[in-house]
Homo-oligomer: A and B are copies of this chain.
């Protein structure tokens, strides 16, 4: 590649400028043409620089890609913190954070896949750890208030699994296969996850196979006791 457009050499100390330009170019290409189109050569050319220069700022193509994503993921952190700032009830707050997580993932499916599905890098590990922390922060008050029971770490992990699934199941699919109402999807899945987590701490033996009888115990409110599920030994199919 002959130097395109006579790019000026950065002054010492301004080497990082190329880095940000590369990131911007990579982001542009990523959004416009997808992951596979982001090639080291292409990004370099878009900035007007030769290929190996990219390696002065990024150890590999993957690191470049992940660096592009990280910018967006920082936004997730803020969103999740903000999401429940006006909510007092800890369980509601947790639910809100879960909805936020899902909504965020579905807004950036490409980047989500890139960071979460590919082979792990240092950057992606950082992202995962942050996500875990944001959730754990919301789980802890729930445990303190008695809404959730059990180990905070284990609960958070289970929550993460559920949330990640909600996004990861859709992210690789073309958008036309997504549910029509994404808000409802996010709310539903978030509810599934938080209520599931709540149930976890209330199971007699968490590792046993729970039957409809366990369910009857869990989901029977005092007022409608006995009406929720059939009588003991309820009809099978």
Measuring CB to CB, which residues of chain A are less than 8 angstroms from any residue of chain B?
Answer: 87-92, 95-96, 99, 113, 116-120, 141, 144-147, 154, 157-158, 160-166, 168-169, 172-174, 179, 183-184, 187-189, 191-200, 202-203, 206-215, 217-222, 225, 228-230, 234-237
- Whether B192 pairs with A210 at a CB distance below 8 angstroms is no
- Whether A209 pairs with B141 at a CB distance below 8 angstroms is no
Q: Shortest distance in angstroms between A208's beta carbon and chain B's nearest beta carbon?
A: 8
What is the bound-complex CA distance between A166 and B236, given in angstroms? 28
Are A222 and B219 also in contact (CB < 8 A) when A187-B207, A229-B147 are?
no
Chain B residue nearest to A165 (CB atoms) is B165
Contact partner, A92, options B95, B212, B222, B230, Cβ 8 Å: B212
Contact partner, A168, options B91, B117, B213, B237, Cβ 8 Å: B117
In the assembled complex, which residues on chain B have CB atoms less than 8 Å from the CB atom of A236?
Answer: 88-90, 141, 145
What is the bound-complex CA distance between A154 and B229, given in angstroms? 20
- Whether A90 pairs with B192 at a CB distance below 8 angstroms is no
A-B contact pairs, 14 of them (CB 8 A): A92-B212, A145-B237, A158-B166, A158-B189, A161-B165, A161-B189, A161-B192, A162-B165, A187-B208, A191-B196, A191-B199, A193-B196, A199-B219, A202-B219
Contact partner, A96, options B197, B209, B219, B221, Cβ 8 Å: B209
Q: Shortest distance in angstroms between A100's beta carbon and chain B's nearest beta carbon?
A: 11
Contact partner, A198, options B169, B207, B215, Cβ 8 Å: B215
Contact partner, A219, options B165, B209, B219, Cβ 8 Å: B219
What is the bound-complex CA distance between A158 and B192, given in angstroms? 7
What is the bound-complex CA distance between A235 and B146, given in angstroms? 9
- Whether B218 pairs with A172 at a CB distance below 8 angstroms is no
Q: A147-B234, A188-B200 are in contact. List 13 more A-B contacts (CB 8 A).
A: A117-B168, A120-B174, A145-B229, A158-B189, A162-B166, A165-B165, A165-B169, A183-B207, A191-B206, A192-B196, A192-B197, A195-B215, A220-B221
